[in-house]
Structure 1
Amino acid sequence: MTPHLRRSVRAIILDEDDRILLCRFVFPHPVVPQQAKVVWAAPGGGVEAGEDRLTALRRELREETGLAITADPPHVWHQEVVDAGHVPGFDGIINDYFLVRAKHFQPRGELTDDQLAAENLAAFRWWQLSEIAGYRGPELFSPRDLATPLTALLTAGTPDQPVQLGL
């Protein structure tokens, strides 16, 4: 039987200093495993019925960060997690990540603070690769080893085909 997976899109937003914008999600958001309290993940979310991935990405970025993109960003990473406990109501998730270059900005999307909180999104932060690679605190990243694919993206550039990510 084919697993019922939630389709999501996420943006790897890099500023002119190669800092990445991440969202701080608190339990019980799908990217936060039950044993953890917080996960830092790329902005984005579910693809709604009738949407293609890029339409969903544009909507999610406007709603969460206020960033409006017009060009079609490159698809750089693909992640499939099949785990019935990972996303309520689904057998897992598919995350497609797109690279978005932007000038540094203060995230402020269309959603109110209460709406963001209802989605368990608590904060935004720009991170340097060295901060992610050296982080030893209790909070997690999604994907867990974010530093590895991010290093490859920053050093080798946009891949010809999306890189397959693990959990």
Structure 2
Amino acid sequence: MTSHLRRSVRAIILDEDNRILLCRFVSPHPAVPEQAKAVWAAPGGGIEPGEDRLTALRRELREETGLAISADPPHVWHQVVVAADRAPGFDGIINDYFLIRANHFQPCGELTDDQLAAEENLVAFRWWQLPEIAGYTGSELFSPRDLTTPLTALLTAGTPDQPVQLGL
């Protein structure tokens, strides 16, 4: 039996102080499991028919954050999650993450806040420092769940030669 997985791209956007930009997604959204209230995840989204990963990434970043990228960013992480409570209509999700270095900015994409909330269930942006993520004790989740480990490796060891395989 072949799994029907939703293919998505996400941007690990790091500013000059190594803060990461995350989006707060609320249910229903593919990143938010049924039992969760919200998930903080990297900006990005589904690859539309006819798009390659980088075209989808550029579109998603323009729509959600207003960030325009011209260079091809390095592919740093790959995640496959097969779970029934993800991506309605799919058996799970594949996320490919790309590293983007940018000066700190206030996200303001092509889609309005109301459109982002209605179409993407994206309700907030926040720049996080690694210690804030590592010490977080709230009820909301991160995607990937153990964001601290791959983010620490990325910040200390730099861009990997091959995308790191992530768990849930």
TM-score (norm 1): 0.99
Q: Give 1:64 deviation, angstroms.
A: 0.1
Equivalent residue, structure 1, for 2:133? 132
TM-score (norm 2): 0.98
Query: 2:20 & 2:81 partners in 1: Cα distance?
Result: 23
Equivalent residue, structure 2, for 1:87? 87
Equivalent residue, structure 2, for 1:55? 55
Equivalent residue, structure 2, for 1:29? 29
Query: 2:4 & 2:28 partners in 1: Cα distance?
Result: 20
Stretch deviating more after TM superposition (13-22 or 84-93): 84-93
> Does residue 1:166 correspond to 2:161, yes or no?
no
Q: Give 1:114 deviation, angstroms.
A: 1.5
Query: 2:71 & 2:47 partners in 1: Cα distance?
Result: 19
CA-atom RMSD in angstroms: 0.6
Alignment of 1:87-166 (within 5 A): 87-118=87-118, 119-166=120-167
Query: 2:91 & 2:36 partners in 1: Cα distance?
Result: 20
> Does residue 1:43 correspond to 2:70, yes or no?
no
Query: 2:143 & 2:83 partners in 1: Cα distance?
Result: 15
Q: What letter is aligned with 1:50? A: G
Q: What letter is aligned with 1:9? A: V
Q: Give 1:113 deviation, angstroms.
A: 1.5
Q: Give 1:85 deviation, angstroms.
A: 2.4
Equivalent residue, structure 1, for 2:19? 19
Q: Give 1:112 deviation, angstroms.
A: 1.2
What is the DSSP-based 3-state SS (H/G/I as helix, E as strand, rest coil) of the residue aligned with 1:34?
coil
Q: What letter is aligned with 1:42? A: A
Query: 2:131 & 2:154 partners in 1: Cα distance?
Result: 14
> What are the ranges of 5 or more consecutive residues in structure 1 without an aligned counterpart?
none
Query: 2:49 & 2:40 partners in 1: Cα distance?
Result: 26
Q: Percent sequence identity over matched residues?
A: 87
Q: Give 1:11 deviation, angstroms.
A: 0.1
Query: 1:85 & 1:61 partners in 2: Cα distance?
Result: 25
Query: 2:134 & 2:19 partners in 1: Cα distance?
Result: 13
Q: Give 1:84 deviation, angstroms.
A: 2.4
Query: 2:150 & 2:141 partners in 1: Cα distance?
Result: 15
